[in-house]
Amino acid sequence: MAHADADGGVNRGSLYILGCRVDRVDAHEAAARISQLVERKVSAHVVTIGAEMANLAYADREYRDTINAADLVVPDTVGIVIASRLLRAPVPERVAGIDLLERLCADAAARGDSIYLLGGADGAAMAAAGALVQRHDGLRIAGAEHGYFREQESAAVCERIRSSGARLVFVGLGFPRQERWIREHLADLGPAVCIGVGGSFDVISGRLPRAPRALRQAGLEWLYRLVREPRRFRRQLALPIFAVRALVQSFGTRVGTPHTQVK
């Protein structure tokens, strides 16, 4: 049963899809919880979970544990939204990682907090930073760098982020690398909230177009991306498998007892 948070918001708890926790929040609630974490100056991990991620986590316990250990897990794709409905514990809406990023940048600009962008091809994070500064007056960029670094270089990357003083770190390394990297290095990044945002930098910078709003509202953004990027076809083969597994879960346990995982 939903109940009120201390700040007056609605806390609907969580559900598990293929063993992965999903917090039943809308975009406003997700941004509010993240802002609270930023204001508390704690290290925190936010996962934007999609169907492909849940499908991988179903067979990879370590990755599943990484997702479930996060401070907040938001429903990033329409597949997760549909699965939650099948399990009779619907999430309020899709919380797309790229939209959450934009909302958080607006909040950061209002507070005077700085952000750091890590990931993408050479120049993508810097280009995205420039676009975000234009859209959000007063936004402070603490740093931006590409994601083509080796694991042995992670210590230096963490030091740059920590010394920058960034309070929000957007990590666009793609799944499952970004979630694993954040979990492993979170303590080394200082008091920052780290959020995996996949390929958002390419879209924000204008290097890749985003699906028209009508297609996004119809839940067909995945199809638009597949048409634009046919090389994604092999990845999309995971979606029917996810659908079958979600259906099997809905016919079985339906849903476990939702519980709050927000820290």
pLDDT in tens, 216-258: 665 656 555 656 665 665 666 778 889 899 999 998 754 444 4
Given CA atoms 93, 94, 98, 104 in this order, what sign does their dihedral have? Answer: positive
Given CA atoms 199, 202, 206, 208 in this order, what sign does their dihedral have? Answer: negative
What's phi and psi for 225, nearest 5 deg? -65, -35
Predicted pLDDT at 256: 45
* Mean pLDDT value across residues 174-200: 97
pLDDT digits (tens, 9 = 90+) for 67-84: 999 999 999 999 999 999
* Mean pLDDT value across residues 191-219: 82
pLDDT digits (tens, 9 = 90+) for 90-107: 999 999 999 999 999 999
Predicted pLDDT at 240: 84
Confidence of residue 211 (pLDDT cuts 50, 70, 90): low
Domain boundaries along the sequence of the chain: 12-214
pTM for this predicted structure = 0.87
Report the DSSP pairing between strands 10-11 and 3-4: antiparallel
Q: Euclidean distance between the first and final Cα of the chain, in Å?
A: 19
Q: How far is it, in rounded angstroms, from Cα 5 to Cα 226? A: 39
Q: Residue 193 corresponds to which tokens in the numbers above?
A: 């909230």
- % the chain with pLDDT above 90: 76
Range among 102-116, 195-209, 245-259 with highest mean pLDDT value = 102-116
212: left (phi over 0), alpha (psi -120 to 50) or beta: beta
pLDDT, averaged across the chain: 88
Cβ-contact 23, 90 below 8 angstroms: no
Least confident of 5-14, 15-24, 149-158, 201-210: 5-14
E-assigned strand segments in 104-172: 114-119, 140-145, 168-172
Report the DSSP pairing between strands 72-75 and 44-49: parallel
pLDDT at residue 8 greater than cutoff 50: no
Give the Å distances, CA to CA, from 37 to 72, 223, 249.
10, 35, 33
* Mean pLDDT value across residues 136-155: 97
- What crossing angle do the helices spanning 27-39 and 97-111 adopt, rounded to 10°? 40
Predicted pLDDT at 238: 73
| CATH of span 12-214 | 3.40.50
pLDDT at residue 10 greater than cutoff 60: no
3-state helix, strand, coil in the chain (%, to 5): 50, 15, 35
Cβ-contact 58, 18 below 8 angstroms: yes
Cβ-contact 123, 129 below 8 angstroms: no
pLDDT at residue 131 greater than cutoff 60: yes
pLDDT at residue 65 greater than cutoff 60: yes
Confidence of residue 208 (pLDDT cuts 50, 70, 90): confident
Write the single-letter amino acid at 215: L
Predicted pLDDT at 237: 72
Q: Residue 261 corresponds to which tokens in the numbers above?
A: 């995982």
Confidence of residue 260 (pLDDT cuts 50, 70, 90): very low
Q: Which residue has the higher pLDDT, 35 or 235?
A: 35
